[in-house]
Amino acid sequence: MREVATQLVKLLAALFMAEVNVHFTYPLLTRPRGFAALALHVDDTECASSVLMGEGFKILSQSDISR
């Protein structure tokens, strides 16, 4: 995320509208390409991924953040 405050609202609003429950989230200390990154635990991973990619968010996998 570039602008964390506004992007976080956009991210959560998109998941809310898609009726995807967020169980927990936390910031990652890793900053891929200088952007903020969040780890999300949701009840429907496939739906959340689809919704967030549709909103322009990049979904990272374990291999993207591993050393």
Residue 13 Cα distances to 30, 34, 62, 65, 67, angstroms: 24, 24, 25, 25, 32
Going residue by residue through the chain, which has 67 residues, state the pLDDT in tens, using 9 for 90 and above.
566 778 999 999 999 999 999 999 998 876 767 788 889 999 999 999 999 999 999 998 888 777 6
Measure the CA–CA gap between 45 and 36, rounded to whole angstroms.
20
pTM over 0.85: no
Which contiguous run of DSSP H or E holds residue 10? helix 4-17
What is the rounded distance in angstroms from the CA atom of residue 27 to the CA atom of residue 29? Answer: 6
State how far the Cα of 19 lies from the Cα of 2, in Å rounded to an integer.
25
